[in-house]
Amino acid sequence: MNDKNRIRWIWTIVILLASLGIAEAVRRTLIIESIIPAFSPPKYPGFDAGFSKHRVITLLHMVPGVAFMVLGPLLFAKKIRKRPGLFKWVRTIFFVSAYMVGISALAVSYTISIGGANETAAATLYGLFFLYSLTRSLIHISKGEFALYREWLLRAFAIGLAIATVRPIVGLFFALSSLSPHEFFGIAFWLGFTIHLIIAEAWIRHTRAHPAL
CB-based contacts of 120, cutoff 8 Å, min separation 6: 109, 110, 113, 186
- pLDDT of 28 above 90: no
The CA distance from 211 to 22, in Å, is: 31
88-105: per-residue pLDDT in tens? 999 999 999 999 999 999
Amino acid at position 138, single letter: L
The CA distance from 48 to 154, in Å, is: 31
Q: What is the pTM of this model?
A: 0.90
121-151: per-residue pLDDT in tens? 999 999 999 999 999 999 999 999 999 999 9
The CA distance from 195 to 159, in Å, is: 9
Least confident of 22-26, 52-56, 113-117, 189-193: 52-56
Cα–Cα distances (Å) from 37 to 33, 34, 40, 43, 53, in that order, read 10, 7, 8, 17, 14
Candidates 122, 104, 116; CA nearest to 191 is: 122
